[in-house]
Structure 1
């Protein structure tokens, strides 16, 4: 859509349509938390390594000067990588403590919002670890350090994402704030669920997660449809009653 207002209106409607899916993702996260409880995840080394890394980052974030340049670099680099995924070109890449920008020939909601739901430094950490583990097999015995790093880098992503959204980013305004917030929250939830499912059950856990999310989504959309239909019938009944009363 070439008309910006029409595009934002369309995305607002898409955001509304995604709300039941967002509710389903929250319910799926609840299922995962119950699985944590029954599986006694707090007794596993990865739980303490992951949580310890996250807690360590929170201390750094709130007690020490925040590495804003590092965040801005990752933010703009994510924009740039998203552009390349769209077969586009990056003409300028600027980063400073006060902010940054990327000039490109492509634009889309994915390019604009990708830094807010892709934990780039976590992705880099996983890629480096897998590459190193491929050449040095004993690295598999030090997974606690990987989980520690994931906790730190994902904490980095989440804290700065919340902070930047609170400041009112132009990326969100350009795509429509409501649509952007729904997409960012939904995709962050899904990535967290994918990550935790992979840790808990490996590849075998993903079908169960997908099936649970599917059932929750069906229930959420069915409830939404039923509620809207009931509401529409009530409004229609009231309007008919008002018209009859006016005529009488």
Structure 2
């Protein structure tokens, strides 16, 4: 997202060319050299290096420990053939097939752009802002709002809006008309939209998104990674591969190991000096 009153663009390009960028206006130039914005970026960089980066390493380490301990579960055929797991994987396979067809890929790209800008708009409304313009197309999209913060700017990268809508719809259907068919549709769609979010997020992030540049690429990348990691942990816990209690325990263990490692390195450097 850009500053209040400016267009916020999520330019989805198929290359790294800057052919779709907006020209640098005098107002934009003043924003770039604004000392307040510069100080905010410096604080975000410091936060990224001191907090978000260590948290990311610890989160991955803890997840690896949990997955290692989950081997007795995932080695069972009954686990893979269960309705939730089997149909979630089936949904991911359906997405893969769709991505291999050019015409279907274009439709999926358009759906991603719509969801991306819709998430921006919902986030702006949640922050008590107003959405003045909303545009989507295969070449990208943007919204214009009077609010700007990192939550509004980065929300499409960690909020899988289509997946959440799908789960809400079929959860309501299952509440009033429970059946095996509804369960199958629920999990198949969940797998499809979950993989949809992962694929297009990974596809769009390297394409120099203004949303991320505005808030600092390192800060944005680490925050997006951590929040998506949280979603992955929730999914794995739901399927019984890991447990929330076990993950928290391993997270604290990994954090202590990292602190001890830093302390040992610091002591080694102190002695060498």
TM-score range, shorter chain: 0.7 to 0.9
Q: What TM-score, normalized by structure 1, do the two folds share?
A: 0.84
8 Å contact from structure 1 (residues 133, 140) kept in 2: no
Which position in structure 2 is the counterpart of 1:243? none
Which position in structure 2 is the counterpart of 1:145? 185
How far apart in 1 are the matches of 2:128 and 2:144? 14
8 Å contact from structure 1 (residues 132, 139) kept in 2: no
Q: Structure 2 vs 1, CA of residues 34 and 2 (structure 1 numbering), >3 Å: closer, same or farther?
A: same
Q: 1:26 aligns with which of 60, 72, 75?
A: 60
Alpha-carbon RMSD across the aligned residues, in angstroms, is 2.4
Which position in structure 2 is the counterpart of 1:12? 45
How far apart in 2 are the matches of 1:36 and 1:142? 29
How far apart in 1 are the matches of 2:152 and 2:57? 25
How much has 1:170 moved relative to structure 2?
0.6
Task: State yes or no: 1:229 paired with 2:243.
Answer: no
How far apart in 2 are the matches of 1:195 and 1:180? 23
2:128 alignment partner, SS class: coil
Which position in structure 2 is the counterpart of 1:121? 162
1:91 alignment partner, SS class: strand
Which position in structure 1 is the counterpart of 2:24? none
Which position in structure 2 is the counterpart of 1:82? 123
Unpaired segments ≥5 residues, structure 2: 1-33
Unpaired segments ≥5 residues, structure 1: 238-248
1:87 alignment partner, SS class: coil
Structure ranking higher in helix proportion? 1
Which position in structure 1 is the counterpart of 2:253? 215
How far apart in 1 are the matches of 2:149 and 2:268? 35
How much has 1:234 moved relative to structure 2?
5.3
Q: 1:162 aligns with which of 190, 199, 202?
A: 202
How far apart in 2 are the matches of 1:62 and 1:141? 27
1:156 alignment partner, SS class: helix
